[in-house]
Structure 1
């Protein structure tokens, strides 16, 4: 998948994900940006095989609305969208997590770091155990 120029610009302005603890959790480390000197950022990452540009983001944008973003609604919506992809975005060798956050930012026009600041659960991160596998259909 080729990333659009608009998305590339946004990639540098969003929080990059570093990985996930397991397919059942979205780790706290996933929300932490890493310094430019990090070895992980210096390694070339493979393009994501999942086309996040064509996903339907209304599961988030219909429930997480500003200007007063409600943590319960936003975090629930974020988990409903992201948890079905936890396994593929846990692969730190790909751009999947960065692509996903890029398009969430583009389609939702959310303040930077909104999900990282609001969505905190246990010490392992966001728990995807009880999140139903929803249809992750393409937009259109």
Structure 2
């Protein structure tokens, strides 16, 4: 009976460790991606896409207008501006962080062109040393 109790205890301990490691990890859009201003010279091939090609077409009417409505005219982004940017950018955090595919440059250039935001503007929204945190989904 002692060995079966030890086996049950071991199984419970392993289950707790497995459950803790299975929790979603926080996602970030890195400072490098937030400060991207031109395509990287060291591009890599994405599976199914040409080098340097972003597979997402950011929609100026829907996505960029959402940011413009909250950010235009501000020297320093207010929390509502950062939230608007976060809501548009975070669903694409993995693509934006791969600075070799051009997605971060594409998004930031469209925002710059449409909203007249200076380069590096959204880096001020960073809420950690890593960059801008995104909600865990």
TM-score interval w.r.t. the shorter chain?
0.5 to 0.7
1:88-124 C-alpha deviation (Å, 9 max, x unpaired): 22233311111111111111111232212x2121122
Which of 48, 51, 76 is residue 57 of structure 2 equivalent to?
Answer: 51
With over 3 angstroms needed to count, the CA separation of the structure-2 counterparts of 1:50 and 1:85, relative to structure 1, is same
TM-score (norm 1): 0.60
* Corresponding residue of 2:121: 114
Report the Cα distance in structure 1 between the residues aligned to 2:43 and 2:113, rounded to whole angstroms: 25
Cα deviation for residue 52 of structure 1 reads 2.1
Which of 88, 99, 104 is residue 106 of structure 2 equivalent to?
Answer: 99
* Higher CA-based Rg: 2
With over 3 angstroms needed to count, the CA separation of the structure-2 counterparts of 1:124 and 1:58, relative to structure 1, is same
With over 3 angstroms needed to count, the CA separation of the structure-2 counterparts of 1:47 and 1:55, relative to structure 1, is farther
Which of 72, 82, 89 is residue 79 of structure 2 equivalent to?
Answer: 72
* Unaligned runs of at least 5 residues, structure 1: 1-21, 35-39, 133-140
* Unaligned runs of at least 5 residues, structure 2: 1-24, 45-50
- Equivalent residues, number: 106
Cα deviation for residue 43 of structure 1 reads 3.9
Deviation beyond 6 Å, 4+ runs, structure 1: none
* 2:70 aligned counterpart, secondary structure: coil
Cα deviation for residue 23 of structure 1 reads 7.7
Cα RMSD, aligned residues only: 3.1
* Corresponding residue of 1:128: 134
